Amino acid sequence: MKKKIILASGSPRRKELLEQIGIPFEVVISHVEEVRTKEEPSEIVLELALQKAEAVLEQFPVKERAGIVVLGADTIVVKAGKILGKPRDEEEAVEMIRSLQGQCHRVYTGVVILETDESKGRKCSTHVEETKVFVHTMTEDEISGYVATKEPLDKAGAYGIQGTFAAYIDRIEGDFYNVVGLPVAYVYRRLREILEEKFL
């Protein structure tokens, strides 16, 4: 049975990463209202990733779900136990960057892969990736200058490690692509197992 991979995300960064490793897929955005009931970062990202994946799967009629593989993901930035989401405005972005500069924080991504078969049964694979990110000390001019680029405004934690903020990254411990938004090595291996084929 031919299987179809669906990315349950409107994130351009996740789309680019899947394209980069040669995975054929379609994008279907969940539009689900995320409901957070967990408190631990690793549990939060899995909970939200599952909500996205399930919402997308439910968009397909039951009779059409056989062979569909839905990939859901959620990424959060955590500093001193506080979750830093997308900043509401430039002022909040400045506050977030100010809290991250000269410090270490953690980035968590939860991945949920839902598989369906001909009997309409469902399998669920889950994975959480954690990366430590160390940011150089920044001046107020550097912080305001970075925020003025508008790059932080659509990103959790108010920065993109793959963008101009790379100039302020001291080092990371863990998966770089996890910080971008998707641990692609895990996703590649798992999807290869499910589809029983190589992409590259």
Residues annotated as part of the active site: 74
The alpha helices in the chain, defined as continuous H runs, are: 12-20, 41-57, 90-100, 140-148, 176-180, 184-195
Q: Which amino acid is at 141?
A: D
- Cα separation, 126 vs 103, whole angstroms: 30
Query: Considering all CA atoms of the chain, what is the largest pairwise distance in Å, rounded to the nearest integer?
Result: 60
Hey, what's the torsion of the CAs at 38, 42, 47, 52, to 10 degrees?
140
At residue 171, what are phi and psi to the nearest 5 degrees? -170, 170
- What's the CA gap between 105 and 130, in Å, rounded? 10
Quick one: tokens of 114?
């839902």
72 beta partners:
112
- The CA distance from 196 to 115, in Å, is 13
